[in-house]
Amino acid sequence: MTNIVIIGMGEVGRHLAATLSLEGHSVRAVDRSAAALGLATEHADMQTLVGHGSTLPTLRQAGVERADLVVAVSDSDEVNLLAALTCKQLGARQTIARVGDRAYYEEDGGVAHDVVGVDLLINPQVLAAMEVHRVIRSFGAIEAKNLADNRVEVVDIAVDAGSRNLNKQLRDISMPRGVLIAGIVRGERVLIPHGGDHVEPGDHLWLIGDIDTIPRMHKMFGAGRERRARRVMIVGGGEIGAEVARRLERDGIDVVIIEKDLRRCHELAAELRDALVLHGDGTDRALLLEEDIESVDGFLALTHADEVNIMAGLLARGLGVGRTLVLVHRGDYLTTAADVGLDVAISPRRSTAEYILTHVRSEHVHRVVQVENGRAEILEIHVPERSRAVGRSLMYVGFPQGAIIGCIVRGESVFIPRGTDEIQPGDTVVVFTLPEVTQEVLRIFRDPKGS
């Protein structure tokens, strides 16, 4: 069990606290608001402390000197940085701070290691922008993640009613080499499929495999959408919208940005090379029609207001846009967006939580991807030399029901393992697992003499 202190009980803090407490970690939550702490304890078993997260008396009372990890995710960069620095000085083993100021990041990846004495800085806006970009690039996917230094892709695609593979047993579907259906989401259930299972209309498939092969799967199970967007409209020119626009420009995609703040419009026009920046309201039907919204391949609503994003997405959907993506900050709006017919909903909270969870699990876990709001997970695990899985055929490793190895990365090759394959030291394995067996999976790959 790990001792964890979480400072800030907003969306990210509550989500982390609930996830980690369910895994058996000892969690103490700190927030200035007793109401925020009360809301957090409705879904998690934890200790709470009302106080300012960057002051010495509060941090000492929280016991940060004995903490294995301190996570500062309040809504203030300054509080998070000061809290993380102070906790490190007091003896906390690891500290993570959520910081949106890009001045602390030398690269555009959304994370920075060992900066100003803090183990890890995380920029939620950039992480969310990266996820939006991946989904648009993997046109047809609901979610898209890159793992193993961009050699493995994980995507979530919806099964179209017209797919030729409906109701076939998986063993009878001619799958490309290097791709595995690792999970099926059917209603509220997440299934680890076997050869006798079949695909039904409305299913979501989680695919794991070689990054060059995954795009072929959209035509097998989807509606054969274009693999590449050519024109994208973005509502909201804030930090996330601007970052997405920059990345799409580099891909050669035509970008239109609609922003309500006139001064921000001038800033975007000066910064972006080719994007068309319009001053207006993204929920203005006349404006969208005037800008030929029917020719748009993707419509992205990325403002700070969840309700505006959902309404803009619904309006675009009604005007004929085939692909709508909305940004939502509240966790309960993720399912709402899907329920009302929007294609993709992306949460900065979840993107941030995935990176933080990686640092809790094990030194050998390089990435954690949460599936269906935590009902399953995808783990990228680096296999240490003394792991008990090394040198044994997979059929004899004792892998638990409720988990499956999606692929193995060995050197430059990516392959789907069979029962007779052996895991070697230095392999990277990508595992799809239900949460109740996650710890058992980690024990299989853990170095028994390591931490």
Other CB atoms within 10 Å distance of the CB of residue 147: 22
On whether residue 238 sits in a domain, the answer given is: yes
CATH of the domain at 247: 3.40.50.720
**Same domain for 359 and 337:** no
**Same domain for 365 and 338:** no
On whether residue 128 sits in a domain, the answer given is: no
Residues 222, 140 contacting (CB under 8 angstroms): yes
**Same domain for 243 and 217:** no
Q: Which of 348, 374, 398 is the last residue before a domain boundary? A: 348
Where is average pLDDT lowest: 221-225, 296-300, 358-362, 430-434? 221-225
On whether residue 297 sits in a domain, the answer given is: yes
**Same domain for 116 and 14:** yes
**Same domain for 94 and 55:** yes
CATH of the domain at 177: 3.30.70.1450
Q: Which of 304, 328, 348 is the last residue before a domain boundary? A: 348
On whether residue 171 sits in a domain, the answer given is: yes
Tokens of 307: 């309700």
**Same domain for 318 and 356:** no
Q: Is 392 exposed, middle or buried (0-12, 13-18, 19+ CB in 10 A)?
A: middle
Residues 278, 259 contacting (CB under 8 angstroms): yes
Residue 336 has pLDDT above 70, yes or no: yes
On whether residue 73 sits in a domain, the answer given is: yes
**Same domain for 62 and 32:** yes
Range of the domain at 246: 231-348
Q: Residue 428 — pLDDT band, cuts 50, 70, 90?
A: very high
Where is average pLDDT lowest: 17-31, 58-72, 334-348, 388-402? 334-348
**pLDDT tens column, 177-189:** 888 999 999 988 8
**Same domain for 265 and 335:** yes
**Same domain for 23 and 49:** yes
**Same domain for 378 and 296:** no
Q: What is the mean pLDDT of residues 338-342?
A: 81
Rounded distance between C-alpha atoms, residue 84 and residue 67, angstroms: 12
Count the domains in the chain.
4
Lookup result for tokens 């906390």: 92
**Same domain for 95 and 30:** yes
- Letter string b/e over residues 109-122, b meaning 16 or more CB atoms within 10 A of that residue's CB: ebbbeebeebbbbb
On whether residue 340 sits in a domain, the answer given is: yes
Q: Which of 348, 377, 412 is the last residue before a domain boundary? A: 348
- Letter string b/e over residues 195-230, b meaning 16 or more CB atoms within 10 A of that residue's CB: eeebbeeebbbbbbbbbebbbebbebbbeebeeebe
On whether residue 177 sits in a domain, the answer given is: yes
**Same domain for 364 and 398:** yes
Residue 191 has pLDDT above 80, yes or no: yes
Q: Residue 222 — pLDDT band, cuts 50, 70, 90?
A: low
On whether residue 17 sits in a domain, the answer given is: yes
